[in-house]
Amino acid sequence: MRIAIVNDLLMAVEAMRRVVASATGHQLAWIARDGREAVERCVIDRPDLILMDLIMPNMDGVEATRQIMARTPCAIVVVTANVSGTSSKVFEALGAGALDAVNTPVLESPNSAAGARALLAKIETIRKLIGNGTRKPYPPFTQRAQPAISGPGHLVAIGASAGGPAALTQVLGMLPADFPAPVVIVQHVDSQFAQGLAEWLARHTHLEVRVAREGDRPQAGTALLAGSDHHLVFASSTRLTYTADPVDNAYRPSVDVFFKSANRFWQGNVIGVVLTGMGRDGAEGLLALRQSSHYTIAQDAASSAVYGMPKAAAELGAACQVLALNKIGSRLMSLVSAAAKAHV
């Protein structure tokens, strides 16, 4: 991959340059000293991946990410000196379209090797997400009747990736504290950020939001967030667990794996939602839900920070509805409320 570095500190730039140079198959595209320069360089020469700092003069990494994703979208990983100390900005950048975040490797430090390995692991994950540019063929779209939502035991299952944190705040923000269905979220994010993301999301909704624990049982009024590099799945009709399988899945945790698990085990109705994100994770799982007469929603292109995952779902014919982000929360309310009234 061609990788660009955006950072105003020479030592940080050199540390990342050495990491990129150490890996076969990667090359340095260019270096920018602030966000404004990065936006301008992307117009002329768009790289495969940008390693983006957060705190910089002239334009910070959040705004640079937002502008790049709007004008010349490409994969972006936040690389900053103190991820845990800048968590709010990390989530802002993820909401603007960045895929992940990692601490900046440090030259000649006791932890320099570990820092380099962590960054290389992120780069390898992005390489798998980007792939070789080929697309697997999808079957022709077949219009299916929209299933009726009825009966007890509703579950809202949401998958998201790049741009997901901001999108999730909009969706969850429209749901009341007494929302009569549990919500389970699989957001592509490093496990070290899961707790912080749950706390950040909780500030934007009346629901209780927390990281899903081993053995958790989804409850109405609560949103559980996948919080491990393993996949979140149902172990039974009511209990959640984490599993390493499938080990060869590039997405960890995987939306597809969770959706297929919910389709297999959940005894009531599932409403599957695929939000903004790079790649195709979630499309096949959403299709499995729809084919089992569950209701499915994909975010539309205009409101997506990255129209990858929802586009794949729409092309596959997996979505009963394609909706703008600001319509999804109210649609969930109407579906679940109507079903609850029908069951009374």
d(CA 29, CA 42): 10
Which of 188, 230, 231, 294 is flagged as catalytic? 188
Strand pairing partners for 79? 102
In degrees, to the nearest 5, what angle opens at C-alpha 165 toward C-alphas 160 and 169?
110
| Helix 61-71, helix 35-44: angle, nearest 10 | 20
CB 268 within 8 A of CB 238: no
How many CA within 13 A on the CB side of residue 193? 26
Which of 34, 53, 87, 161 is flagged as catalytic? 161
Q: Distance of CA 73 to CAs 5, 187, 283, Å? A: 16, 20, 21
Cite the DSSP H helix spans in the chain. 10-22, 35-44, 61-71, 87-96, 112-130, 164-173, 194-202, 255-265, 283-291, 309-315, 325-343
Which of 100, 190, 281, 300 is flagged as catalytic? 281
For the question of residue 281 being annotated catalytic, the response is yes
CB 189 within 8 A of CB 94: yes
Q: Encoding tokens for residue 246? A: 């499938």
- The catalytic residue positions are 161, 188, 281
